[in-house]
Structure 1
């Protein structure tokens, strides 16, 4: 069943009200400390970006269960409904911000999630030697991991980033494949 934009916004508000809250400044500073440790450990910016994506993927794989249990959303009708659910329900539920969906491609298989307010980048300024760092790349991984758990294989990347001089944060999401559910043959052998 398709949900309208207003319904998504209402569901996002309801989900946000159900969630336990963490102080935003504490969250931003803790995330910043983690990124800083990765920069010190890996030194190579590309490796740090990959590590943030991997960490996000692992979070997304686990976070989808909580999202489905607490958000009040049903199954999404199509990719457009999924995009609106991510932007208006999931971002509100977990980060307290509402994102917008924009820039659909002609095939309807790619879209952008636009964040005007990114709580991860509070108090952050990238030093010149780390200008290629995708500081919030964990978000791309979270989206990728969560969608994979609901049978959608996507590529996710930052197209624009405020920390790198852009006017807003834009995450580009492209559907690569709808995964078929596979039954485990070993499960049936044991029956």
Structure 2
């Protein structure tokens, strides 16, 4: 199944995505983070804003992924992890993090991001590292928002980041509960 998702992600990247100049995207994101730091002057608040922005993006990305790939709803959390890694990340960032460190109950996993494009051309000041800035925290929000649209309430957080001196970047995804599908209120 993993190879199938990898192929779907690569095909979608090659054929169904309008490409944006990577450097422009990276510098624009960096400018956004710098502006948030200036506006909030508190790294915890910046992390929260990045997560919130990512969540709003993730809510909309699910439909885009479905439209571009013709994927059907995932059969379980394991398949969902593979789709996030091999299709979602590939489609939008042209990277495919590895899925690792599953919990015994199958409700937690890590995405190991060896090459995070958002980190290119970036170096965090020591104070930002010390005070807890997670520069790419927008990715956590994107994952959380996308999974919520798939009826999965999750907790998503960075646990390691190369910009903070770690050897790799790791995002931890924890399934809290499956959400009930709600029928929209009628227009009567």
**TM-score (normalised: structure 1):** 0.95
The reply on whether 1:12 has 2:9 as its aligned counterpart is: yes
SS at match of 1:30: helix
Q: Considering only aligned residues, what root-mean-square deviation do their CA atoms show, in Å?
A: 0.9
Correspondence list, 1:75-114, <5 A? 75-114=73-112
Shift of 1:72: 2.8
> Does structure 2 conserve the Cα–Cα contact (< 8 Å) formed by 1:12 and 1:88?
yes
The reply on whether 1:169 has 2:166 as its aligned counterpart is: no
Shift of 1:118: 0.4
Q: Which residue pairs with 2:133 in the alignment?
A: 133
- Selected match of 2:113 from 112, 115, 137: 115
Shift of 1:74: 1.5
- Give the Cα–Cα distance (whole angstroms) in 1 for the partners of residues 183 and 84 of structure 2: 27
Shift of 1:77: 0.8
Q: Which residue pairs with 2:35 in the alignment?
A: 37
Shift of 1:71: 2.1
Q: Which residue pairs with 1:65 in the alignment?
A: 63
- Give the Cα–Cα distance (whole angstroms) in 2 for the partners of residues 77 and 65 of structure 1: 17
Shift of 1:33: 0.3
Shift of 1:107: 0.1
**TM-score (normalised: structure 2):** 0.96
Shift of 1:152: 0.4
Gaps of 5+ in 2: none
Q: Which residue pairs with 2:143 in the alignment?
A: 143
Deviations 1:23-56 (A, max 9, x none): 1111111100000000000000000000000000
Shift of 1:109: 0.3
> Does structure 2 conserve the Cα–Cα contact (< 8 Å) formed by 1:11 and 1:72?
no
SS at match of 1:154: strand
- Give the Cα–Cα distance (whole angstroms) in 2 for the partners of residues 37 and 141 of structure 1: 18
